[in-house]
Amino acid sequence: MSITAQNVTKRFGDFVALDDVTVECPAGELVALLGPSGGGKTTLLRVIAGLEVPDSGTVLFKDDDITKHSARDRNVGFVFQHYALFRHMTVFENVAFGLRVRKWAEPRVRDRVLELLRLVRLEEKAGLYPANLSGGQKQRIALVRALAPEPKVMLLDEPFGALDAKVRSELRDWLRRLHNELHVTSIFVTHDQEEAFEVADRVVVLNKGRVEQTGAPVEVFERPANGFVMDFLGNVNKLPVRVEGGRALLGETGTVELPGRVFGASENGRTDAYVRPHELDLARTADGGNCLLARVLHVNPAGSVVKVRLWAEDFGLMINVDITPERYRALALKPTEPVYITPKAEAVSDTDYAI
């Protein structure tokens, strides 16, 4: 069952929360609505669920226009940030709740609940109450409770927002596993790009009520549509440049040619280049000249890449560079030491400054 929101506009008074938004979620896919706070993600999810009525536009489930259908008639499973489990019911009864409302026969209820509890490895907790579960376990129950009545679509609003980093990451795996098992067309809201990229088949970047970009995670990461998307994905240096002859040159006098991306420039060629830390390298000497002098401010060696933060005094810029642990050891960097930032040769030749 595919989901389409077509040219949806939603106002709250004079405020336009969704401005002619079109989003498609193909049947069986898991789509992430990604964007900053206030971008319109929850509003779009609520329009799809039937909890908000759009001012214009349509919502289709497959080819059926369901814009005017009530939330109840849409057969949607909803998962919220706060588990919203019934405290006075056992785990089993929580998962069974939607089935009993739909008057499923008792043996079928039992089979379905146990099947789902097995799927999230919580069958042993069936007789416990929510108070006896961890946050991650509660959210696993909330997920299968929403899935129990075999909804046509699943909508999840920041489902892991209330949990700590480790549990969040485990739950992402659970969501992906459940999705691979059950293939229910699903849309989930997150402001965390890592979460969106790890879990989703397709990402929709929403900002100020408009779609900035839609694509598979790899497309959005490798070909961000504009500066907003590139900036929002994070971990990027935004450096002032002058574009000249298809080259992005740093600063007023522009001697250092940078890798990365630019998105449009003013008449005099001024703009920002977005350079990812791994597109830069460090060197002890100014070999070849295409480099800028900086001082090491901070080194974070924890991880498969070493993250170096530097201050380029001549340009008044803070710059992040990622290097391999081997390179870090070879350079033997220390705080406050001068060092040269150099664009990686392959990164410069790979860039696209057509504007």
Contacting residues toward ligand ATP, per CB under 6 A: 12, 15, 17, 35, 37-43, 191
List 247's β-bridge partners, or say none.
244
Question: Smallest distance, Å, CB 49 to ligand ATP?
Answer: 12
Q: Tell me the H-state helices in the chain.
A: 41-49, 91-101, 106-119, 135-147, 165-182, 193-199, 217-222, 227-233, 325-331, 345-349
State residue 238 phi and psi, 5-degree precision.
Answer: -105, 110
Kindly tell me which of 157 and 272 has the beta carbon lying closer to ligand ATP. 157
Q: Report the DSSP pairing between strands 64-65 and 76-79.
A: unpaired
Kindly tell me which of 21 and 85 has the beta carbon lying closer to ligand ATP. 21
List 10's β-bridge partners, or say none.
18
Q: Which DSSP state fits 338?
A: E
Kindly tell me which of 36 and 127 has the beta carbon lying closer to ligand ATP. 36
Kindly tell me which of 41 and 74 has the beta carbon lying closer to ligand ATP. 41
| Nearest partner of 204 among 24, 11, 77, judged by Cα | 24
Q: Tell me the H-state helices in 183-293.
A: 193-199, 217-222, 227-233
Kindly tell me which of 13 and 316 has the beta carbon lying closer to ligand ATP. 13
Six-digit token pair at 11? 């106002």
Question: Smallest distance, Å, CB 187 to ligand ATP?
Answer: 12
Question: Smallest distance, Å, CB 207 to ligand ATP?
Answer: 9
Question: Smallest distance, Å, CB 234 to ligand ATP?
Answer: 16
Identify the H or E element spanning 6: strand 3-12
Kindly tell me which of 35 and 98 has the beta carbon lying closer to ligand ATP. 35
Kindly tell me which of 15 and 253 has the beta carbon lying closer to ligand ATP. 15
Please tell me whether residue 261 adopts helix, strand or coil conformation: strand
∠ Cα 96 81 93 (to 5°): 15
For residues 272 and 287, what is the distance between their CA atoms, to the nearest angstrom? 26
In this structure, the number of other CB atoms found within 10 A of the CB of residue 303 comes to 9
Six-digit token pair at 57? 């536009």
Kindly tell me which of 51 and 347 has the beta carbon lying closer to ligand ATP. 51
Question: Smallest distance, Å, CB 14 to ligand ATP?
Answer: 10
CA torsion, ordered 159, 149, 182, 216, to nearest 10 deg: -40
Question: Smallest distance, Å, CB 59 to ligand ATP?
Answer: 15
Question: Smallest distance, Å, CB 297 to ligand ATP?
Answer: 32
Kindly tell me which of 48 and 249 has the beta carbon lying closer to ligand ATP. 48
Residue at 247: amino acid letter = R
For residues 337 and 282, what is the distance between their CA atoms, to the nearest angstrom? 12
Question: Smallest distance, Å, CB 10 to ligand ATP?
Answer: 8
Question: Smallest distance, Å, CB 342 to ligand ATP?
Answer: 39
